[in-house]
Amino acid sequence: MNIPKPIPVFTLFGEQGSFPDVVHCERIHARAGLTDWVISPHRHDQMAQIFQIESGAASVQIDGTTLTLSAHEFLYIPDKIVHGFDFTRGTEGLVLSFPLPVLTSLAPRTPALTQLLSTPSMGQVPKPMAQLLVQLATCFDTSGTFRTQRLVALSHAILTEVAEISAKSTTLSAGHQTLEQFNMLLQRHLNDGWRPSDFASALSITTGHLSRICRQTTGKSVSAYIETTVMTEASRLLAFTRLSVAEVGYRLGYNDPPYFSRRFRKVCGMTPSAYRARFLTQTSAAD
């Protein structure tokens, strides 16, 4: 019996270590040129990306949908979406990678903005966005006391440009609509201990249907997807609040702190205390 290989999950393509900077910027040829201009299907659990084509083109696979990305166009890929590329040899442009804390710190947050940045989109690169992309690439290659703050500010400006363009014309898979609604419910009920059947009932679909959508679009079972989302919120609380580890667990519906710590370690690869210490160390180094 042939067992399907799991979809790789990377920090950056081909890398599984910690994220290297507050954001990441590189040229397409620097990555795709090393793999004969083909990037096999993969996904990122806690990172979104923007691909901007300056010249050349790419055939793009997104959750089973094939698209063509041409010169002067961009493609936005939120976290957890399976994607792969077959670039025309010599294609040039930028790849921007944004860890989730950069997206979640974009404020003021609205349901519409959350929905738009949870959905893949593509379109022409307007002049204001092109200028912002150049500024971010230039800032990324420089140093300075407030480099981190400038990179985050430019990232937010670019992401809002993406949201504005997406609001005018959503280009990808109607199948993501249910997942978007599921994600919005997840955010509203993170603390309520909802089970897959609760979410399916709220969406007026069967648990099996929700499970199939989740597996097809994220590569995870619905239970694993829910737990990953909860632990992503736990990561934010550990990184950006002074709540104790036990308080973080209580807030997210875990009444047994040791069990919360075990589940966090299972999902995130380290204990909550180690994650907080590592995040604080990386933030101090970045500043």
Question: Is 190 found in the same domain as 229?
Answer: yes
> pLDDT value at position 5?
43
Q: End-to-end alpha-carbon separation of the chain, Å?
A: 52
242 falls within a domain = yes
Question: Is 250 found in the same domain as 117?
Answer: no
CATH code of the domain containing 69:
2.60.120.280
Q: For residue range 159-205, what is the model confidence (pLDDT) as tens digits?
A: 999 998 887 765 445 456 788 788 889 988 988 889 999 999 999 99
2 falls within a domain = no
Interhelix angle 222-240/207-218, rounded to 10 degrees, is: 60
84 within 8 A of 40, measured Cβ to Cβ: yes
Question: Is 182 found in the same domain as 116?
Answer: no
CATH code of the domain containing 181:
1.10.10.60
DSSP for the chain, written as a single string: -PPPPPPPB-SSTT--S--SSSSEEEEHHHHHGGGTTEEEEEB-TTEEEEEEEEESEEEEEETTEEEEEETTEEEEE-TT--EEEEEPTT-EEEEEEEEHHHHHT-SS--HHHHHHTTS-EEEE--HHHHHHHHHHHHHHT---TTHHHHHHHHHHHHHHHHHHHHHH---S-TTHHHHHHHHHHHHHTTTTT--HHHHHHHTTS-HHHHHHHHHHHHSS-HHHHHHHHHHHHHHHHHHH----HHHHHHHTT-S-HHHHHHHHHHHHSS-HHHHHHHHHHHHHHH-
Q: Could you say which of 168, 191, 225 is where a domain stops?
A: 168
> pLDDT value at position 236?
84
Question: Is 137 found in the same domain as 64?
Answer: yes
Q: Could you say which of 145, 168, 191 is where a domain stops?
A: 168
Question: Is 145 found in the same domain as 195?
Answer: no
Using left for φ > 0, alpha for ψ between -120 and 50, and beta otherwise, residue 201 falls in alpha
14 falls within a domain = no
Cα–Cα nearest to 27, from 42, 17, 18, 37 = 37
Indicate the pTM of the whole model: 0.58
DSSP for 204-269, written as a single string: TS-HHHHHHHHHHHHSS-HHHHHHHHHHHHHHHHHHH----HHHHHHHTT-S-HHHHHHHHHHHHS
Q: Could you say which of 168, 192, 222 is where a domain stops?
A: 168
19 falls within a domain = no
Question: Is 235 found in the same domain as 139?
Answer: no
Tell me the C-alpha distance between 269 and 257, whole Å. 17
Question: Is 231 found in the same domain as 197?
Answer: yes
11 falls within a domain = no
Tell me the C-alpha distance between 225 and 23, whole Å. 24
Alpha carbon separation from 52 to 43, 80, 83, 114, 267 (Å, rounded): 18, 20, 15, 22, 32
235 falls within a domain = yes
3 falls within a domain = no
Positions in the chain short of pLDDT 70 = 1-20, 169-176, 282-287
Tell me the C-alpha distance between 172 and 42, whole Å. 18
276 falls within a domain = yes
Question: Is 186 found in the same domain as 279?
Answer: yes
Question: Is 184 found in the same domain as 143?
Answer: no
Tally of domains within the chain = 2
Question: Is 111 found in the same domain as 188?
Answer: no
Question: Is 263 found in the same domain as 159?
Answer: no
Can you give the residue range of the structural domain that contains 163? 24-168
Question: Is 87 found in the same domain as 188?
Answer: no
Tell me the C-alpha distance between 199 and 247, whole Å. 25
